Amino acid sequence: MAQILSPLPGTFYRKPAPDKPPFKSEGDSVAVGDVIGLIEVMKNFVEVHADAAGKVAKFIADNEEPVMAGQPLVEVS
């Protein structure tokens, strides 16, 4: 099982906007390079890209949760 880690500290968002669906949900297929979420730091949004392919097993970080650099966000199987 691979983990996708936060590239930097900030707030993790699973959706591109509050009224939009999540980038990925549990059970979805994911390819290397797919966007799985955003990290917001001081009103700047950085895309989090998958560095492993497979299926989203579970989200470790919740939507709008503060995260640290290197913190696991998603498990991919």
Structurally, the chain folds into a number of domains equal to 1
User: Model's pTM, two decimal places?
Assistant: 0.93
- Which domain does 54 fall in, by range? 2-76
The segments of the chain whose pLDDT lies below 70 read none
> Would you state the pLDDT for residue 13?
98
Residue 49 sits in a domain whose CATH number is: 2.40.50.100
Using alpha carbons only, give the angle 64, 34, 70 rounded to the nearest 5 degrees.
Answer: 50
pLDDT tens digits, 44-56: 999 999 999 999 9
14 contacts 59 by C-beta, under 8 angstroms: yes
Q: How far is CA 32 from CA 19, 49, 51, 69, 74, in A?
A: 26, 7, 5, 20, 13
> Would you state the pLDDT for residue 73?
98
